[in-house]
Amino acid sequence: MSDQSDVTRAARVTPVRVVIALCLVAPFVAMLWVGSYAKTDPAFVGIPFFYWYQMLWVLVSTALTMVAYQLWQRDQRARAGREGGASQ
């Protein structure tokens, strides 16, 4: 029975986890929606939009992944603190 309660506790959806999921899903959605960036204008420093948009998402994806990781670490520390305090 304790195995089942551990599973439901681990599968709980919290606002922090929703933000983490959005941070990780956003780059995929942006890159899979090709119609939004399959054009040449506006050019930036002579580079067509198609290319600089994708390169911009490399940087944005890195930042979003870092944010998701930090939120995950904070969530895990808070969870360990709650579970540690509840068992004592």
pLDDT digits (tens, 9 = 90+) for 22-58: 999 999 999 999 888 888 889 889 999 999 999 999 9
Q: Whole-prediction pTM value?
A: 0.76
Burial code (b: 16+ CB inside 10 Å, e: under 16) for 40-60 equals eeeeeeeeebeebbeeebeee
pLDDT digits (tens, 9 = 90+) for 1-12: 556 655 555 668
User: How far apart (Å, rounded) are the C-alpha atoms in residues 19 and 85?
Assistant: 26
User: What is the torsion angle, in degrees rounded to the nearest 10, for the CA atoms of residue 45, residue 41, residue 34 and residue 60?
Assistant: 30
- At residue 3, what is the residue type? D
- Residue 6 pLDDT: 59
- At residue 83, what is the residue type? E
Tell me the three state secondary structure of residue 81: helix
